[in-house]
Amino acid sequence: MKRGNVQRKVGDIMGGRVLDLDIVVAHRNGIAEGIEQGREEGVKGIVAVYKNLGGGELDVVEAVVTNMGLSEDEARVIVKKYW
């Protein structure tokens, strides 16, 4: 039985109350951490490429905003971390 079906059946038994089971919360947190790690690695790669090509920090920030979907402030913080 799939997780969604199990949650629906348990929800039916519990009168429709939402259950935040530990395993579900851990799964969501794991996904969020993985996404964040992937984003960090992506920015790290962009910084390395721009440095090798002689680009400036502002160029990297602009590339991160454009390609990674971060705000300019978020991009500045993460680029500084790897610059």
The tokens for 34 are 């993985």
* Residue 69 pLDDT: 87
Percent of the chain whose pLDDT exceeds 90: 66
* Residue 21 pLDDT: 77
* Residue 53 pLDDT: 95
Q: Where are the domains of the chain?
A: 3-82
Instruction: Name the residue among 53, 57, 79, 75 with its Cα closest to residue 66.
Output: 75
HSE-up (13 A, CA, CB side) for residue 76: 4
**Cα 30 to Cα 34, 36, 52, distances in angstroms:** 6, 10, 33
pLDDT, tens digit, 9 for 90 and up, residues 26-62? 999 999 999 999 999 999 999 999 999 999 999 999 9
pTM: 0.66
The tokens for 25 are 């919360």
